[in-house]
Amino acid sequence: MKYVVCVPDGCADEPLDSLGGRTPLEVASMPTLRSLARRGRVGRAAVIPVGLPAGSDVGNMSIFGYDPARFHTGRAPIEAAALGLKLGTDQVAYRCNLVTIGADGTMVDFAGGHPTSDDAMPIIKALDEQLGGEVRFHAGVEYRHIMVAPATWVDAECTPPHDLSDKAAVYPTGPAAPHLQRLMDASREVLAAFGSKANQIWLWGQGFQPQMPSFESVFGRRAALTSAVDLVRGLGVLTDVAVVDVPGATAGYDNDYGAQRDAALRALRNGTDVFIIHVEASDEAGHAGDVAEKVRSLELWDSEILTDLVSELDGMGPWRMLLLPDHATPLRLKTHTSDPVPYLLYDSEVTGPGGEYTERFVADSPVFAGHDLMAQLVGTRSPV
């Protein structure tokens, strides 16, 4: 039995006037997904447990099958793992965004104009040289980087920058806030020398590195993943899920969906039991409020990933699929919500009750804990 987990990041949404009162999932042309939903089981999952932030770190931890209420310690420590940083108990990791703040103090762009990783590298190096010492800066991917600080700096209330889009930037509060404020202020001068769209750093998402049992020890299956997002890759590192590098996989609209599909099929043919495909583009479109790109990313999922994936898997033997986003990113709100999301479970050997993979179809379904779905997917009983 082979297992595929599909994660269109943030794909769940709300009905939109501009789409005639429908959601992106309802208007996108997704014939393969529709046919899977007709023969599988759809429902609603709480991927963001009550009381935890509606972040991709929390949602993807649920999808991996780990209860975030037990294992989540913050977003930055997971991303630090993806950069190969094993932190001591005396260290706390902060997420360090390159952001653009307007002259009036508005968060103009939580992604700092989307620099390339190559463009960001010298900026992070300069931050480390000029502001480093007690803290260290580590270059990550595009606008997403890591700062490692002393453990005593953990105590601060920080606002995720993507929750502040087009709003007044709300700076940290709490005991460690003065340290963070000093660095964010000082970063303006460092960034000014580069002439980039980003004009300062934003520190948030801090935490200690969690101790997570390996995926194989929990689920008895060998797993691998593809993702262009460092925190999803970091979850792989922390759970011993193999992280496959896929040239062309990006966190943007130019993602090579077909390359991720081929990587999944290659791994599944070569002994991997469970393969997780994560694509960020739908979340980026949600944050940008870009309806057309959100619909397009869903249609590319269908035409570039699901269609050939299904026919190839059918030729390999019995297989199952779990498809769901790690949270909703409604276009109207341009940020994540904690609302339950639709999930699809499919079993090539068992016909389920069937349904439609839309927010509307599952609106009255009972809500299951997101982290229980992985155990259902790989369980001895069919999940549909």
Residue ranges in contact with Zn ion by CB under 5 A: 9-10, 56, 283, 326
Which residue, 9 or 347, has its beta carbon nearer to Zn ion?
9
Phi, psi dihedral angles at 10 (to 5 degrees): 65, 20
**What's the closest the beta carbon of residue 58 comes to Zn ion, in angstroms?**
9
Strand pairing partners for 100?
109
CB within 8 Å of 216: residues ≥ 6 apart: 222, 223, 240
Which residue, 132 or 252, has its beta carbon nearer to Zn ion?
252
> Residue 357 to residues 29, 271, 341, 383: CA-CA distances in angstroms?
12, 30, 10, 16
Closest C-alpha among 236, 288, 329, 332 to residue 9:
329
**What's the closest the beta carbon of residue 46 comes to Zn ion, in angstroms?**
15
Give me the numbers of helices (H) and strands (E) for the chain, helices first please: 14, 13
SS3 148: strand
Strand pairing partners for 168?
106
Which residue, 209 or 335, has its beta carbon nearer to Zn ion?
335
**What's the closest the beta carbon of residue 362 comes to Zn ion, in angstroms?**
19
**What's the closest the beta carbon of residue 7 comes to Zn ion, in angstroms?**
8
Which residue, 56 or 73, has its beta carbon nearer to Zn ion?
56
**What's the closest the beta carbon of residue 26 comes to Zn ion, in angstroms?**
20
Q: CB of 171 within 8 A of CB of 202?
A: no
Q: Rounded to an integer, what distance in angstroms lies between the CA atom of residue 216 and that of residue 46?
A: 24
Which residue, 48 or 123, has its beta carbon nearer to Zn ion?
48
DSSP state at residue 208? P
Which residue, 110 or 153, has its beta carbon nearer to Zn ion?
110
Q: Which residue has the tokens 């609603």?
A: 44
Cα 45-46-51 angle, rounded to 5 deg: 180
Q: Rounded to an integer, what distance in angstroms lies between the CA atom of residue 326 and that of residue 88?
A: 28
**What's the closest the beta carbon of residue 144 comes to Zn ion, in angstroms?**
12
Q: How many residues does this entry show for the chain?
A: 384
The tokens describing 311, both together, are 């026919």
Which residue, 171 or 253, has its beta carbon nearer to Zn ion?
253
**What's the closest the beta carbon of residue 349 comes to Zn ion, in angstroms?**
31
Residue number of the CB atom closest to Zn ion: 56
Which residue, 27 or 328, has its beta carbon nearer to Zn ion?
328
**What's the closest the beta carbon of residue 151 comes to Zn ion, in angstroms?**
27
Phi, psi dihedral angles at 343 (to 5 degrees): -125, 160
Which residue, 2 or 336, has its beta carbon nearer to Zn ion?
336
**What's the closest the beta carbon of residue 229 comes to Zn ion, in angstroms?**
8
Task: Please report which residue ranges of 270-379 form alpha helices under DSSP H.
Answer: 281-288, 291-300, 307-316, 373-378
